[in-house]
Structure 1
Amino acid sequence: MSPAGNPSRSASASAIVADTATGYHLLKIDGYSLIKGTLTGKSLKSSLFTVGGHRWRINYYPNGDSADSAD
């Protein structure tokens, strides 16, 4: 509090400016019917690719990532 008993007032502001990036990665699955037997929670990983200055990888869970999403 200020000496006069009144609370001090202050203000602040901030902003986030996001850039956009576009790109794509083609994920081709050869032998799809053979990978359906992959255990729940196990993933197949794509190779790394770059979009917008960031490195990405796709984790594909052919039988879901948990029992709730199996099949």
Structure 2
Amino acid sequence: MAKKPENLTFEESLCELERIVSELEQGDVSLDDALKQFERGIKLVRTSQSKLEQAQQKVAILMTDNENDSLTPFAPEVE
């Protein structure tokens, strides 16, 4: 069974998305399987986007000039 998208690394998600796109582009997939793969792809995109946003926020915090600022844990938005 495939891992849940939130348990994959960003890189693993990208590799799986590439595989899904490749299989769908070939057109040898039944409609039901294509829909399942499309749904999985959407979940992978959403979790990957969330991971990117978290990374961007961390970089922005680290790049601030104010040395008196303290880092606080990031709380991602719940969808």
Q: Is TM > 0.5 for Structure 1 vs Structure 2?
A: no
Larger helix percent: 2
Question: Looking at CA atoms only, which structure, 1 or 2, has the larger radius of gyration?
Answer: 1
Shorter-chain TM-score bucket reads under 0.3
TM (norm. structure 1) is: 0.25
Which is bigger in relative contact order (C-alpha 8 A, separation at least 6)?
Answer: 2
